[in-house]
Amino acid sequence: MSFSQGEILLVSMLFTDGSGAKRRPAMVVWDGGDDDLLVAPVTSHTVRSQRDVTLTRWQNAGLRLPSIVRLEKLATVGKSTVIRRLGQVEATDWTAIEPALNQFFADIMAA
């Protein structure tokens, strides 16, 4: 099974303290072809970081509520945790996500 960059999935995400998991939407950042995906959580909470990108076309991405992609919280998840595909980020939203993601990685490399 393979996934596309910008695809929105419903995944079972583990809590950072290991106490359980919750079904959450996430955007695919990278599918390297193995059993894992690099994803960014998608949330309906308000923007709280310069690395949060608001989805203007959230309905077309298969989301039920106005949402943001939280790039600061990238996670690796197993493909086995994917519950279902929800949709795809539209090109208009990707034009905001891609430079923010590139800047995030540039900042990490410069640190």
- Position 58 scores a pLDDT of 96
The pTM of the full predicted model, rounded to 2 decimals, is 0.93
- Decide: 39 and 101 in contact? Cβ < 8 Å: no
Q: What is the CATH number of domain 7-110?
A: 2.30.30.110
- Mean pLDDT per block of 10 residues along the chain (111 residues) reads 96 82 95 96 93 96 96 95 97 96 92 77
- Position 19 scores a pLDDT of 82
* C-alpha dihedral (27, 96, 74, 32), degrees to nearest 10: 60
- 18-43 pLDDT, tens digit each: 788 899 999 999 999 999 999 999 99
